[in-house]
Amino acid sequence: MNLLVEHALPATRPAPLDTPGWQFSSCCINLDQSDPGEEAWGLLTRLALGLVFSMDTMMMSLFLYSDWARAAIFGGGLAIPPAIVLLFKLNMLIGSTLAMIALVPPILVNSWQGLRQRRISTDTLIALGSLSGYLASLYGIARGGDVYFDTATTILVFVTAGHYLELRARARGSEALERLLARAPDTACVRRGGEEVEAPASAVAFGEEVIVRPGGTLPVDGQVIDGSGSVNEASITGEAEPAFKEAGTHVYSGTVNLDGCLVVRATGVGENRAVARLVRLLRDALTHRAPVQRLADRVSAFFVPLTVLVSALAFVYWSHQAGMGHGLIVALAVLLIACPCALGVATPLAIWAGMGRAAEGGALIRSAEALEKLAGVKAVFFDKTGTLTKGTLKLVEVIGNLEAVIERAASLEAASEHSLGRAVVAYAREHNIAAGSVRDFRALPGLGVRGNVDGGSSRATRHASLDTAIGSSRFIQRLGWTLDESLAEEKARLESNGRTVVCVGWDGQVRGLLGFEEEIRPEANEAVRELSASGFTVEALTGDDPAAGGALARGLGIAVHAGLLPEDKQRWIADARSRLGPTAMVGDGLNDAPALARADVGIALGCGVDVTRETADVSLIGSDLRQVNWTISLARQTYRTIRQNLWWAFIYNIVGIGLALAGVLHPIVSALAMVVSNLFVVGNSLRLAHGPTHDLPWSDTSVLSS
């Protein structure tokens, strides 16, 4: 009963073996249909009919072969008249035939399709077992011998019940995708012909205007053309803080408009919506087979034909020892107990559950192979800017007359788009320092800005307009302005502490210094501690100068390698792989592409809706660094589950075959044991998917939480 979840997806999958000729698979049921829920209901209907028809057969068998039943019916006599025996057998024939019609067609179809492709599956084993019992029973009626209709039908009932339970398990895995798609509403308020009309969301055309009122969920991706308000984008970007939207900003389907009325021009409809792209990425990931899964296929390829051979030999041996009837029973027991169904379902269902659970936590894993590599990671390397830090600079220290320096600096930087300038303006607002007006503003890229700043409200700058400049030491040197000894010492101190230093001067002389530093993400320390406690080697790579790297190292307590070019980062990753083992690289997925590609696993942080970054094996939709350790731990748990499932499958098959060959197991018991074995594997795998979402630190931002 192999549950190959990939078959449910619209993609071509390579054969289990790469060699030509006959191939063997552990797949027991065709999973090519796209909706496992509908398939499960169809199978449940067949199971109900088969169960009803087989009940009559089992009751007749009870009266034929049970001494106490015969005694109860015939008044203590153990002999049943031959006519009654024949009538019972014919009744069993009718019931078992109807049960076979209800239950065996899907198994026969799958078996025949496999045989046409020169591929033997465990469907073939089940078909051989049930049909052998049925045909042997027809022979028994004709020759006056024993019949095995009850065995044939009970086998099919148990196997079909197992198929149904597996399909329901896979359907529950698919529900995560459905919940994601369901975030976008079914209807939309669209402006057509000057009027507002309600239309199906699927019918909204590119370029149409959609109106979203407070509390409403956006049905399409688009650009705001009118209105403003806050939008909760946690389901898409993973950010808990609502994002302010106004004309010109982009919004995404499935997000919630918290306040304000937005008019949105549709730019992403249907399969081009953000949620549809996320679902497509996850589905594509599930079509790729992991190396451990291919190993299970190869084991099954050896096991299936071996099972047929052992069953045939058992039939010959026991027929010679105890008669053909007993030989048939032993052969059927071997066929059923040795079906490598648990082996087949052990890997794909665990991978499905693990990747679905990862998606619920905001981690989209590109393939099953990437999940397997992630489980083996020994070292984690982080990029600095935009990953361990927020990627923005903060003004933390001012040298000189604070009011005068900040007033002139903020006056000039108010017209600048540079990140340093924004930090200066923010600092001025925090300290209620008003900026003055600027004339003759000039920006010199890579150096600084210069202009005439009019006198402001402070006593230090109340006099007339002065030529003011802000920039690097190189800019000040180019202007020929002086830097006195005390400021030079302060500049050296700031730089030794890892600060980015900017000079502020006017009237031909440097009057003050501004010290900036990058803000470390608030969860960075906790994330690093968790990874270190889990046994990982944790280091950081940055292109910044050694002073900035040293400041980060002191702040997080990890080794930081600074002053690295992109090719240097690649060399560090290659060296780490040889020294430490499999390595993961965490970056923002943009300027870290070479290092992400060189690592065994590339993890892109804060992808939001941009989840198609080719160099990233794992895309973290949110920006919480704690997702890294959680995702790696989940991958490890997934592969522990796979190993548990495989060990169970091997032990079960070895013990079961031994008991069946010894003639201890009846075929019905073998079929029941096969189902119980599969249920153990299914239940063990589904534990991965049932972890509580609320226990995640970023639980309010989980992508698929309901």
Binning pLDDT at 50, 70 and 90, where does residue 16 land? very low
Question: Could you state, in order of their start, the residue ranges of all structural domains in the chain?
Answer: 1-9+30-172, 187-272, 363-389+520-629, 391-519
Start-to-end CA distance of the chain, whole Å, equals 30
Is the pLDDT higher at 690 or at 644? 644
Give the residue, 266 or 145, on which the prediction is more confident: 266
Instruction: Tell me what the pLDDT averaged over the chain comes to.
Output: 76
- Any catalytic annotation for residue 383? yes
Structure tokens belonging to residue 472: 């690097």
Q: What is the pLDDT of residue 78?
A: 53
* Overall fold of domain 363-389+520-629: Rossmann fold (3.40.50)
Environment class of residue 79 by beta-carbon count within 10 Å: exposed (0-12), middle (13-18) or buried (19+)? exposed
* pLDDT(363) > 70: yes
Q: Give pTM, 2 decimals.
A: 0.63
pLDDT score recorded for residue 155: 72
577, containing H or E segment: helix 566-580
Model confidence pLDDT, tens digit, residues 287-338: 555 555 555 556 666 677 777 788 888 888 888 888 877 887 788 778 777 6
Would you state the pLDDT for residue 703? 40
Q: Distance between CA atoms of 518 and 491, rounded to whole angstroms? A: 17
Flag whether pLDDT at 121 surpasses 70.
no
Q: How far apart are CA 410 and CA 421, in angstroms?
A: 7
Q: Give the CA distances from residue 273 to residues 15, 200, 222, 326, in Å, rounded to whole numbers and listed in that order.
A: 33, 15, 9, 63
pLDDT over 90 at 669, yes or no: no
- pLDDT value at 706 more than 60: no
Q: How confident is the model at residue 704 (pLDDT cuts 50, 70, 90)?
A: very low
Confidence of residue 503 (pLDDT cuts 50, 70, 90): very high
CATH architecture of the domain with residue range 187-272: Distorted Sandwich (2.70)
180-184, 240-244, 551-555, 630-634: least confidently modelled range: 180-184
Q: 400 or 592: which carries more pLDDT confidence?
A: 400
Tell me the β-bridge partners of 191.
Answer: 196, 209
Residue pair 223/248 in contact (Cβ under 8 Å)? The answer is yes
Under 8 Å between Cβ of 460 and 404: yes
Render pLDDT for 201-248 as a digit per residue (tens, 0 to 9). Answer: 878 888 899 999 888 888 888 889 988 888 877 656 545 557 788 888
Whole-number Cα distances in Å, 67 to 64, 80, 523, 556, 567:
8, 11, 73, 79, 83
Rounded to whole angstroms, the Cα distance separating 348 from 6 reads: 8
Q: Residues 260-293, buried b or exposed e (16+ Cβ, 10 A)?
A: bebbbebebbeeebbbbbbbebbbebbbbbbebb
- Side-chain-side CA neighbours of residue 475 (13 Å): 20
Active-site choice (150, 383, 600, 617):
383
- The two tokens of residue 330 are 């032993």
Per-residue model confidence (pLDDT) at position 294: 58
pLDDT value of residue 504: 93
pLDDT of 179 strictly over 70: no
Please say if the pLDDT value at position 478 is more than 90.
no
Question: Is there a contact between 583 and 537 (Cβ–Cβ < 8 Å)?
Answer: no
If one counts every other C-beta atom within 10 angstroms of the C-beta of residue 554, the result is 12
Lowest-pLDDT range of 140-144, 264-268, 506-510, 570-574: 140-144
* Per-residue pLDDT, 300: 61
β-sheet with 509-520: strand ranges across: 389-399, 509-520, 500-506, 466-471, 448-453, 438-444
Nearest CA to 276 out of 202, 203, 210, 205 is that of 202
Query: Residue 10 gets which letter from DSSP?
Result: S
CB atoms within 10 A of CB 34: 13
Alpha-carbon Rg for the chain, nearest whole angstrom, is 35
The full 3-state SS of 599-634, as one line of letters, equals: CCEEEECCCCCCCCCCCCCEEECCCCCHHHHHHHHH
Percent of the chain with pLDDT over 90: 9
Q: Rounded CA gap, 256 and 270, in Å?
A: 18
Give residues with Cβ within 8 angstroms of 200, minimum separation 6.
186, 187, 188
Report d(CA 242, CA 681) in Å as an integer: 42
| For range 27-55, the mean pLDDT | 67
The DSSP output letter for 217 is B
Per CATH, which fold does 391-519 belong to?
A: Calcium-transporting ATPase, cytoplasmic domain N (3.40.1110)
Number of Cβ within a 10 Å radius of residue 369: 18
Residue 343 confidence (pLDDT):
62
- pLDDT greater than 50 at residue 491: yes
* Sign (positive or negative) of CA dihedral 208, 214, 216, 221: positive
| Residue 398, both tokens | 């001012």
Residue 644 has pLDDT above 80, yes or no: yes
| Residues 258-270: tens digit of each pLDDT | 878 889 998 888 7
The dihedral sign for the CA sequence 665, 669, 671, 677:
negative
Q: In terms of DSSP H, where are the helices of 219-340?
A: 234-237, 274-285, 291-322, 324-337
What average pLDDT does the segment 523-538 reach?
Answer: 92
Question: What's the average model confidence in pLDDT over 162-182?
Answer: 61
